[in-house]
Amino acid sequence: MRLVRDRVDILCDMLYYDRVMDVYFDNAATTMVREEAIDAMVDAMRTEFGNPSSTHYMGRRAAAALEKARSHLAGALAAKPDEIYFTSGGTESDNWAVLGSAQMLSRRGRHMITSSIEHDAVTKAFKKLENAGWEVTYIDPDSKGRVPIDAFAAALREDTVFASIIYVNNETGAINPIGEYSQVLKRRRLGTLLHTDAVQGFCKVPTSAKALGAQLITVSAHKIHGPKGVGALYIENGIKLPPMQLGGSQEMGKRAGTEALPAIAGFGEATRLAGHEMDESKLKAEELHLHTVRLLSEELPQAVIISEGGSPYILSVSLPGYKSEVLMSFLEAEGICVSKGAACKKGARSHVLEAMRLKDNVIDGALRISFSRYNTLKEAEYLVEKLKEASINIKKPR
């Protein structure tokens, strides 16, 4: 087996040198770390290496760097710095929001609401609560992949204590009206706590805490050209979310453990720059998205565009009758990286596309193309050219 794998690796290396260009269109999985964020991380490791909890001058300098990054995130969310809590990433933040809320609210009720198109970090946390006796209502999306407001309102009950709906879907780019769910909750006066996973929306589409109206908001660094392994949870002041990680008094007593300052510094700098560049980056993503869709409609009229009216950074498209894995392999050989859905699914069938009730052949031939500010129109043209070649050269499975 090792010999076979070595031969495959050698073949892939040989193909690498024959490619026309390398194109990375899997930015919804992770993004390239930008140079400014790398510089901030290196500086934190070289000069601000003290423990932020230490009281000597090196500790105070490290603490100042930590709070600088926290203020950048607070600014991007139009929140207060003491509402931002650093975590190891979006998964931890989602887990903390769901499981911590259950612990905090269990005496008030035992019913929760979420959708059938959430990231696994949310879905699996809810499944754990169901196994512990909680009742969870899963709302299906409409044909465009959005969770209808009337369905959200209809799912509410007197004992509904918590709701979590993703802001920008990580597979289709569909944008859910979180602010309108919040208004429904205010009108009903149920006291239901609202959380949203905003990982794919943060610094890409408007994500102010006030506009969203959610008391808990998950964000992550590596989707905005920051480092992996760091995220944050916005916790509105007054929400006494219990800690899930015990030990020291870091993160205002809510998340124990010495803060990963280099990663946090990179996150802060990536956030600062992404906030300043958001309008420009969004316009570029819209141009790439529209250009790619137009080329697909011209060169591959059989293609089904699944994304409609959502985030310009994510384009979900299908070639019915083909297999996603085969298309991806063909594209990879040409230097193009795309995915069939969430990276954490590791090839499993998309529960999001199934929840949208798409035809099996559409789901099986689906690809997720995700853009960043560093992508170009030339790369989009190369992608469509190679996808057209794939449709001609690959034999459709029966």
Q: Would you please indicate which residues are annotated as catalytic (active-site) residues?
A: 344
- Asked whether the beta carbons of 126 and 136 are under 8 A apart, the reply is yes
In b/e form, how buried is each residue of 216-244, taking b as 16+ CB within 10 angstroms?
Answer: bbbbbbbbbbbbbbbbbbbbbeeeebebb
- Asked whether the beta carbons of 213 and 178 are under 8 A apart, the reply is yes
H or E stretch covering 370: strand 366-370
Q: Rounded to an integer, what distance in angstroms lies between the CA atom of residue 313 and that of residue 224?
A: 11
CB-neighbour burial class of residue 381 (10 A; exposed 0-12, middle 13-18, buried 19+): middle
Among 296, 218, 209, 221, residue whose Cα is nearest residue 260: 221
- Asked whether the beta carbons of 129 and 151 are under 8 A apart, the reply is no
318's torsion region: left (phi>0), alpha (psi -120 to 50) or beta?
beta
- Asked whether the beta carbons of 195 and 114 are under 8 A apart, the reply is no
Q: Rounded to an integer, what distance in angstroms lies between the CA atom of residue 284 and that of residue 268?
A: 23
